[in-house]
């Protein structure tokens, strides 16, 4: 089975997935690139042989599914249009910009019987999966605390008015906080309360987890980034697990240390996870199963990020989920 996909959004990440990811996949065919900026649609479609169009409604007869790579505040509108026409949807993170909109997307997909996946990369990273496996083997004993850092410079194609603005779709919290919350939830489980202090470009989160332990996350896009732009550690009673996510080279991986044992696994580049995301979505469509990050999972990450935004506006007061 080949899933015929329209890419909605020929911007920065749309171009990366059209050029570097789709051509290497066998279960999906990128048949259309849709962008109201038709020049962008044409430029991105050129990488793939797909047809360029200015609106999703112009290509509905030619596709089974829509890969939504538009700015945050447009996720809901584009995803709902696709779902209402019976198309499977892969939507970029965050699933939406409000909990209510996320619920509308999830409910609409369920009612239409289509597969809804959210393009959250971290659960697809081998490093995260290896860390989860080691935690499952009790390799570091009972977790004591978790920390993560995402530090880089927002530059080049990533500088966009909608992303840098202080409106509900902008800021590092919605953009990168979603990834960090996803990572922490993957490593340490559900979040029950969150506090955020800082600005919309640099902030720190304190997360109280259902397990009773605390996680901290520092996010900034104001510091020059090297290859290891995300690191996270789970500190355990008998050792520690470190996860490194490499956005530039192929040095991402997972390291285990205890007084008795030390090992490193992986040689991973972050962007490879986009192939895993699309492949998983296509397999979910073919086998009528849930994707690894479904709408419920994406909504849970969004809820934490929005609670953090409320906390930021309340000078860091803890907000319960």
Ligand X SMILES: NC(=O)c1ccc[n+]([C@@H]2O[C@H](COP(=O)([O-])OP(=O)(O)OC[C@H]3O[C@@H](n4cnc5c(N)ncnc54)[C@H](O)[C@@H]3O)[C@@H](O)[C@H]2O)c1
Positions that interact with ligand X (CB under 6 A): 8-14, 34-37, 40, 69-72, 74, 78, 92-93, 119, 121, 158, 160, 175
Q: Report which residue's Cβ sits closest to ligand X.
A: 11
- Residue spans of beta strands (DSSP E) within 71-111: 88-92
Buried b (16+ CB within 10 A) or exposed e, 153-182: ebeeeeeeeebbeeeebbbbbbbbbbbbbb
The residue among 207, 152, 211 whose CA lies nearest residue 181 is 207
Of 149 and 214, which CB lies nearer to ligand X in the complex structure?
A: 149
Whole-number minimum distance, CB 208 to ligand X, in Å? 26
Whole-number minimum distance, CB 105 to ligand X, in Å? 13
Of 93 and 207, which CB lies nearer to ligand X in the complex structure?
A: 93
Whole-number minimum distance, CB 61 to ligand X, in Å? 17
Of 124 and 139, which CB lies nearer to ligand X in the complex structure?
A: 124
Token couple for 181: 């919350």
Of 96 and 109, which CB lies nearer to ligand X in the complex structure?
A: 96
Q: Are 249 and 272 in contact (CB under 8 A)?
A: no
Of 158 and 257, which CB lies nearer to ligand X in the complex structure?
A: 158
Q: Are 309 and 173 in contact (CB under 8 A)?
A: yes
Whole-number minimum distance, CB 18 to ligand X, in Å? 11
Whole-number minimum distance, CB 224 to ligand X, in Å? 19
Alpha-carbon gap, residue 70 to 228, rounded angstroms = 26
The backbone torsions φ and ψ at residue 199, rounded to the nearest 5 degrees and listed phi first, read -125, -175
Alpha-carbon gap, residue 174 to 195, rounded angstroms = 15
Of 35 and 246, which CB lies nearer to ligand X in the complex structure?
A: 35
Alpha-carbon gap, residue 3 to 231, rounded angstroms = 35
Q: Is 235 exposed, middle or buried (0-12, 13-18, 19+ CB in 10 A)?
A: middle
Whole-number minimum distance, CB 317 to ligand X, in Å? 27
């Amino acid at each position: 089975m080949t899933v015929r996909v329209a890419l909605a959004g020929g911007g920065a990440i749309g171009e990366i997935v059209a050029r570097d990811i789709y051509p290497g996949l066998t279960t999906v065919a990128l048949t259309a690139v849709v962008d109201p900026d038709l020049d962008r649609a044409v430029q991105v479609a050129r990488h793939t042989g797909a047809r360029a169009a200015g609106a999703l409604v112009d290509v509905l007869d030619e596709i089974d599914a829509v890969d939504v790579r538009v700015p945050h505040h447009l996720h809901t509108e584009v995803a709902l249009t696709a779902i209402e026409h019976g198309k499977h949807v892969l939507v970029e993170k965050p699933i939406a910009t409000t909990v209510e909109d996320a619920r509308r997307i999830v409910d609409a997909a369920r009612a239409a019987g289509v597969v809804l996946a959210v393009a959250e990369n971290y659960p697809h990273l081998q490093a995260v999966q290896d860390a989860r496996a080691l935690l499952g083997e009790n390799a570091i004993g009972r977790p004591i605390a978790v920390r993560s850092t995402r530090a880089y410079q927002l530059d080049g194609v990533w500088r966009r008015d909608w992303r840098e603005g202080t409106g509900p779709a902008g800021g590092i919290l919605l953009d990168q906080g979603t990834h960090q919350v996803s990572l922490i939830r993957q490593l340490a489980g559900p979040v029950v309360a969150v506090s955020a202090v800082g600005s919309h470009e640099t902030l720190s989160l304190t997360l109280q987890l259902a397990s009773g332990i605390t996680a901290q996350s520092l996010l900034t896009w104001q510091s020059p980034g090297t290859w290891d732009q995300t690191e996270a550690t789970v500190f355990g009673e008998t050792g520690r697990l470190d996860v490194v996510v490499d956005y530039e080279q192929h040095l991402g991986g997972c390291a285990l240390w205890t007084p008795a044992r030390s090992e490193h696994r992986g040689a991973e580049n972050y962007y490879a996870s986009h192939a895993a995301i699309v492949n998983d979505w296509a397999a979910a469509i073919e086998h009528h199963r849930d994707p690894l990050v479904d709408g419920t999972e994406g909504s849970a990450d969004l809820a934490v990020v929005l609670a953090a935004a409320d906390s930021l506006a309340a000078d860091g007061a803890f907000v319960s989920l």
